[in-house]
Structure 1
Amino acid sequence: MQRPDRYVTFKNIDCEGMTRTVMDHVLRHVAAGDSPFWAYFEAQRTLAHGRGLDDLRVLHNFLPTLKELLEDLDDPETLALLEELERQCM
């Protein structure tokens, strides 16, 4: 019996564009300062960039926290974008 191929390719998926869109939405919350978490998030993002990591990795690292915050902030649009990014690119 042949096993199904579980490899998922990212070819023809604009993960970078999706990441930029999600990060733009997240950065609106950072700028609004509507949670003490955002200062920590920004500091960790800066550290990650210094280590050569991109925003997709940053979003992945904080995925559960971001989902919870976006629910608490009643931002279903950004939450949906983040979940789509998770499904397609993470």
Structure 2
Amino acid sequence: MTDQTPDRYVSFLGLDCTGKADRLMDMLAARIDRTDSRWTGYFERKLAEKTRMGADNLHFVGSQVNALLAFFEETGDTDALDLLWDLEQTCC
């Protein structure tokens, strides 16, 4: 029997939006650690805000789609871009 615990919203049941957002955030953290992009400082500030506000990863991704897109395009991270596109289409 598979775990059918719903995601954050009932309409997201089975889409694993939370898991996908968590994976994208892991990709962001790894990429920030390996680049000197102008986006690094921006995301450091936004991640600190996220922590202060108690927002979850899915909320962060939905709020930062354009910035994440620009960052992952700049760094050439096609896996992150694919995951971001999927999140935007199915979860945001």
- TM-score by length of structure 1 reads 0.80
Q: Which runs of 4+ in 1 moved over 6 A?
A: none
Cα RMSD, aligned residues only: 1.6
Aligned to 1:62: 64
Kept after mapping to 2: 8 A contact 1:29/1:38: no
Give matches, 1:11-90, under 5 Å. 11-90=13-92
Q: Which moved more, 1:37-46 or 1:15-24?
A: 37-46
* Residues 45, 55 of structure 1: 8 Å contact kept: no
Task: Give the deviation of 1:69 after TM superposition.
Answer: 2.0
Higher relative contact order (CA 8 A, sep 6+): 1
**Count of aligned pairs between the two proteins:** 83
- Cα distance in 1 for residues equivalent to 2:86 and 2:12: 13
Q: Which amino acid aligns with 2:15?
A: I
For normalisation by structure 2, the TM-score amounts to: 0.78
SS at match of 1:33: coil
Per the alignment, residue 3 of structure 1 pairs with none
Amino acid at match of 2:24: V
Residue segments in structure 1 that go unaligned for 5+ positions in a row: 1-7
Give the % identical residues.
29
Answer with 1 or 2: which has the greater Rg.
1
Which sections of structure 2, spanning at least 5 residues, go unmatched? 1-9
Q: Which residue of 1 aligns with 2:6?
A: none
